[in-house]
Chain A
Amino acid sequence: MFEEIGTTAEGDLVINMGPQHPATHGVLHLLITLNGETIKKVEPHLGYIHRSIEKMCESLTYRQFIYVTSRMDYLSAHINNHCCALCVEKGLQIEIPSRAQVIRILVDELTRIASHELWWGAMAMDLGAFTPFFYAFRERETINDIMEETSGARLTMNYIVPGGVMADIHPNFQKRVKSFIQLFKSKVDEYDELVTGNVIFQGRMKGVGVLSKEDAISYGCTGPAARGSGVNCDIRKLYPYEIYNTLEFDEILETAGDSFARYMVRIREMKQSIRIIEQLIDNIPEGDFQAKTKAVLKLPKGEFYQRVETARGELGVYIISEGGTTPYRIKFRSPGFSNLSALDHIARAGKIGDLVATMGTLDLVIPDIDR
C-alpha cells in the first residue's frame, strides 16, 4: 500500500517530492519517509507523463512509429530512432550502405555528448551551482545547430529511418563538427576545473549514494549508473552493432560506485565520444545514404529484438510481427526505468540533502521511464 502524507504510527514523517519539483527534471513524484533527516524509504510514483507509446506504435506502420520514439528519451532521440531502425532492418534483412552507418554513429555520438552535457549542467544546478548550466548549454547549442542543419530539427529529429538516414549530411557538417571537437576538448578540461575539482562538490558526491556491483546487476542498472559500480555493460562493446567493433574506444569503468564515480564515468565518456567522432569524421565513405526499400514495409512473421547503448544505458526494442504492415506488439526496455528502481536502495539510510545528488547522477529522464 502507498503511504499517506503526514506522520506514520512510528512517528516518521512522510513527505512529497514532486511531481512539480525543480530537481526531479520532470513529473516524477517521490514519496519519502523520513526519520529526522535520515531517509527510511523512497517510493517513486509514476504515470504522470504516460502517453501509451507502446500501444500507439501498434497502429502505426514501421516507418511511422520511429518518430514517436524520439519522444521517449528526448535527450538521446537519435539513438532511440537508431535502435528502432536497426530492429526493423533485422526483420527485413536489408544491408545498410556504409555511408549511412558512419553517419548514424556520428550523430549518435554527438547526441551522447549533448545529453551528457545537459546532464552535467543540470546536475551542478541541482547542487546549487548555477554557472555550469550556462556553460553546458553554450556548447550544447553548437551540437543542436549542427543537428538542425543536417536533420531539420533540434530535439526530436526523426533522422534515422529504416534503410539508412533520411537525408544526406549537410555540406557544412564535417567542417562544423571538426571545429566543435576542437572547441570541446578544451571545454571538458574547463568543466573539470570548474566543478570536478571543487571541494564542496566533492564533499557532496564522494561516498554518497553507494551502489555495489552486485546490486547494480540485480536491479538491472545499465549505462553510466552501472559502470560507476564496475559492471561491464557497454552494449557498444558487448554486442557491437553497425561498425562499433571496428572503432577504437574504451569502456569507462569506475569501481567506487558512489555518486562521484557515476559523475566521472560520464565526464570520461564524453572524451571517448570525441575519440570516436575523430576517427570517423574524415573517413565518411562515399555512396548512398539510404538503401532501396519498398514504400510499404512488411516484416515477416516472428519476433525481433535489438539493443543499443543510449546516453542513459541499454535500450531494447522488441517487435512481434504477424506479417502485416504494423507491429502486433512493441515493447521498449528503457534504461531509465531500471535505474530508477535502484534509487530506493541507494538513497536509504542517507540524508535527505544527498537525495538530490544521488538522483542527479542516475540521470533520469521521466518520459523515458513512463513512456
Chain B
Amino acid sequence: MFIIDYIKEVYSAVKSLLKGMKLTGYYFTHHKEIITQQYPEVKQTLPERFRGEVVMLHDENNEHACTGCTACELACPNATIKIITKFDVSPEGKKKKALDTFVYHLELCTMCNLCIEACPTDAIKMAQTFEHSVFDRSLLTKKLNKPGSKIREGVE
C-alpha cells in the first residue's frame, strides 16, 4: 500500500506543477494588452492631479495672482519655498507689499501638496511633469514668477 500512496503523491505533485505552468502558458499566449511602454518615444499622459512640481500660473498679460502673503512658505515642511517681497508704490503714493521673487527649491520638495492647499488666491499649482534631472544642482532652484510679471488687478 505504501507504493500506491507514493505514486498518488507524485501524481498530485506533478499535477499541481502543471496547473501553475498552464496558467503561465495561458498568459504567455493570451496577452490582452501590452503593459510596458516605449518610454522616451511614447509618453504617458499623467492625471491632472499628478504632483510633479510647483508652478505659478500666469495669464496672457503676464500677470499672476500671488500677493506675497507667505502662506505657502509657512505651510511647507521642508523650507522648499522662499518668498522675497518688495514694496510697490501706487500713483497715489501708497506703499503696498508685493511679490518680488518666488524662489522654489525643487531638490527639497517632496510633493506633499500642502502649499497648494494653503494658497488663498490659487496662485500656484502642481504641474504634471516628471523629467526633472539636470546636470547641475543649482538648476533645480527656480524662480517661479516670470520676469516682468505683476499681480493681477483685483487680487487681494
Q: What are the 9 tightest A-B residue pairs by CB atom distance, in nearest-first order?
A: A64-B77, A199-B13, A67-B112, A152-B49, A149-B47, A152-B51, A158-B112, A194-B20, A199-B16
A95 → B minimal CB distance (Å): 20
- Please classify the interface of chain A as helix (H, G, I), strand (E, B), loop, or mixed, using the class held by over half of its residues: helix
Indicate with 1 or 0, residue by residue over A125-169, a CB within 8 angstroms of chain B CB atoms: 000000100010010010000001111110010100100001100
A135 → B minimal CB distance (Å): 8
A9 contacts B by Cβ under 8 Å: no
Q: A64-B114, A138-B35 are in contact. Are A199 and B49 (CB under 8 A)?
A: no
Other than the known A153-B50, A194-B24, A198-B16, what 12 A-B pairs have Cβ atoms closer than 8 Å?
A67-B114, A68-B77, A141-B35, A148-B47, A149-B49, A151-B49, A152-B47, A153-B51, A156-B111, A158-B114, A190-B23, A197-B16
Query: Contact between B17 and A199 (Cβ–Cβ < 8 Å)?
Result: yes
A333 → B minimal CB distance (Å): 23
**What residues make up the interface of A, taking CB atoms closer than 8 Å to B?**
60, 63-65, 67-68, 131, 135, 138, 141, 148-153, 156, 158, 161, 166-167, 170, 190, 193-195, 197-200, 295
Closest to A156 in B: B110
**Bound: A213/B28 CA distance, A:** 43
12 examples of A-B residue contacts, CB within 8 angstroms: A64-B76, A67-B77, A67-B110, A148-B46, A153-B111, A158-B112, A166-B113, A166-B117, A197-B19, A197-B20, A199-B12, A199-B13
B132 → A minimal CB distance (Å): 15
**Bound: A65/B76 CA distance, A:** 10
Query: Contact between A60 and B49 (Cβ–Cβ < 8 Å)?
Result: no
The interface residues of chain B lying within 8 Å CB-to-CB of A200 are 17
The total of Cβ contacts below 8 Å across the A-B interface reads 67
B103 contacts A by Cβ under 8 Å: no
The interface residues of chain B lying within 8 Å CB-to-CB of A141 are 35
**What residues make up the interface of B, taking CB atoms closer than 8 Å to A?**
12-13, 16-17, 19-20, 23-24, 27, 35, 46-47, 49-51, 71, 75-77, 110-114, 117-118, 126
Q: A170-B47, A193-B23 are in contact. Are A63 and B17 (CB under 8 A)?
A: no
Q: A60-B77, A156-B110, A190-B23 are in contact. Are A170 and B16 (CB under 8 A)?
A: no
A104 → B minimal CB distance (Å): 17
A298 → B minimal CB distance (Å): 14
**Bound: A151/B49 CA distance, A:** 7
**Bound: A198/B18 CA distance, A:** 9
**Bound: A195/B112 CA distance, A:** 38
The interface residues of chain A lying within 8 Å CB-to-CB of B19 are 193, 197
